[in-house]
Structure 1
Amino acid sequence: MTNIAVIFAGGSGRRMNTVAKPKQFLELNGKPVIIYTIELFDNLPDIDSIVVVCIESWIPYMHKLINKFGITKVMEVVPGGTTGQDSIYNGLACAARYFPNDSVVLIHDGVRPLINEQTILDCIETTQRQGSCITCIPATETFLVQQENGNFKIPSRADSLIARAPQCFVLKDILAAHTRAREESKHDFIDSCTMMSYYGYRLTTIIGPMENIKITTPTDYFVFRAMVEVHENQQIFGF
């Protein structure tokens, strides 16, 4: 079975307050965030190919980075759409042109560079067995869900998970959901698992690393920098 990573790098990064570059191209130690992310998938033997979804005007720069850092598995860089949902569809449609519809597709944010290899492998194995796999972390704070009458419902924290990425599916299933959403003029699903749940697909979850954050604010970037330093120290000093 083929395993394809669709890495979404289409955001403009307004919450980062950056002027010169979108957040996915911010650098740490001379390497952009998006490259840290892509390298994890590129170096993993179980990943057969990668599709990158990018802001259209930044595609030439993305190609330069791929060449500079020796990335070998990116088969195509495709332009993003009007919404995040549309951007992911563009990546999936690209994958479908090259690979069979029973392939496993791992949808991942380009600004989640702290995912680890074991979680990626667990996602692939779970999707092969169960048809889907949503990487989650346990809920560590209380959620308040506002009801139509203005009151709040508070779900049990013990029964709550926070969805992150990768979010993994069989290619034909996630494409079918996207096609149906487009036919119904729905373009604003917040993420893939929300769409799949809406259309009645069964979701399976695994618990991923807590540090698998999405870099959307300056604080997130500082956490990322600290975690990279920790990993480097572990390699050098063995702790």
Structure 2
Amino acid sequence: MVGAVIVSGGKGSRMGADVPKQYLDLKGVPVLARTLTAFCDMEFIDNIVLVLPVDEWETFKSFPYAFSKDIHIASGGLRRQDSVRSGLKALESLQNSGIAVIHDGARPLVTESIVKEGVELCMKHGASACGMKPKDTIKVRGEDGFSRETLDRDSLFSVQTPQVFELKKILAAHERLDYSGETVTDDTAAYEKYIGRVYLYEGSYENIKITTPEDMAVAEAIISRRKV
């Protein structure tokens, strides 16, 4: 079985809005609703777990949208990795094993082809994550403000979500991480620390994470071009 864990706990402080970014209107539909609808439309997704702070559960339940699949809600934690662990445990109660697709609730423009490729590559390699090569030259900046070195752009990879794993293994990694007390920035870091390597594949420059007002403008332009 293939299940999705949608993590949606950001407060959107960089957005400068009165509501969390996942509830902002994006061409007539809240960001989070677009993300969930995208996964509901994927036939190969068997279960969907949405991780939300408890104080947002009622806000979500008041959404005027009827999703085509059941959305199971799990409690968000203090850190993203705590929220992911909570979502993985909820997914385990639904399907016990299988594949876990972890995705940001604030990435509403993900496509079925990106998710499907991630699942197929996970089955082949054990774990996968999508992303893109950076377009800009990447410099290492010293504490004094001066450039220290230029990194080889061809060897760099800007990781996105979805990130796809065997459910049992990624949950074990997160539980060990919780025991250690360490903090990581994403799920590939947890997996690499305790389990093994992650295969990286090409996502899309359109698979953006909504973080700033500029991101909303870009997302609106992409949606208009897709006509969805």
Q: Secondary structure of the equivalent of 1:135?
A: strand
Q: For residues 79 and 130 of structure 1, what CA distance do their matches in structure 2 show?
A: 30
Match of 2:14 in 1: 15
1:152 to 136, 143, 148: 148
Between 53-62 and 118-127, the greater mean CA deviation after superposition:
53-62
How many Å separate the matches in 2 of 1:146 and 1:161?
A: 18
Distance 1:73 1:83 in 2: 27
Deviation at 1:138, TM superposition (A): 1.3
Which of 179, 185, 192 is the matching residue for 2:181? 185
Shift of 1:56: 1.4
Aligned to 2:61: 63
Any residues of structure 2 matched to 1:27-38 within 5 Å, and which?
Answer: 27-38=25-36
Report the alpha carbon displacement of residue 197 of structure 1 after superposing the two structures with TM: 1.9
Could you tell me which residue of structure 2 aligns to residue 97 of structure 1? 93
2:226 paired residue number: 231
Does 1:211 pair with 2:206? Answer: yes
Q: Tell me the percent identity.
A: 31
Alignment of 1:85-164 (within 5 A): 85-101=81-97, 103-145=98-140, 152-164=148-160
Contact 1:52/1:74 (<8 A) preserved: no
Q: Give CA-to-partner distance per residue, 1:5-42, whole Å, 9 cap, x none.
A: 100111111110111x1000001233100011111110
Contact 1:50 1:76 in 2 (8 A): yes
Is the contact between residue 137 and residue 163 of structure 1 (CA under 8 Å) also seen in structure 2? yes
Q: Secondary structure at the match of 1:98?
A: helix
Alignment equivalent of 2:39, drawn from 38, 41, 64: 41
Task: State the number of aligned residues.
Answer: 227
Q: Secondary structure at the match of 1:39?
A: helix
CA offsets 1:149-206 (integer angstroms, 9 cap, x no match) = x9834331111111001011101111111111111112x2111112222225111011
2:148 maps to amino acid = F
1:83 and 2:79 matched: yes
Taking the aligned partners of 1:131 and 1:49, their CA distance within structure 2 comes to 20
Task: Tell me the amino acid that sits aligned with residue 15 of structure 2.
Answer: M
Q: Distance in 2 between matches of 1:98 and 1:169?
A: 16
SS at match of 2:17: coil
Q: TM-score, normalised by structure 1?
A: 0.89
Local SS of the residue matching 1:173: helix
Per the TM alignment, residue 77 of structure 1 is displaced from its structure 2 partner at its CA by 0.9
Q: Which residues of structure 1 form unaligned runs of 5+?
A: none
TM-score if structure 2 supplies the norm length?
0.93
- The alpha-carbon deviation at position 135 of structure 1 amounts to 0.6
Amino acid at match of 1:109: D
User: Which residue identity does 2:56 align to in structure 1?
Assistant: W
1:165 corresponds to: 161
Comparing 71-80 with 170-179, which one deviates more in the overlay? 71-80
The one-letter amino acid paired with 1:55 is P
2:140–2:149 CA contact under 8 A, matched in 1:
yes
Report the RMSD for the aligned CA atoms in angstroms. Answer: 1.9
- 8 Å Cα contact 2:49/2:72 also seen in 1: yes
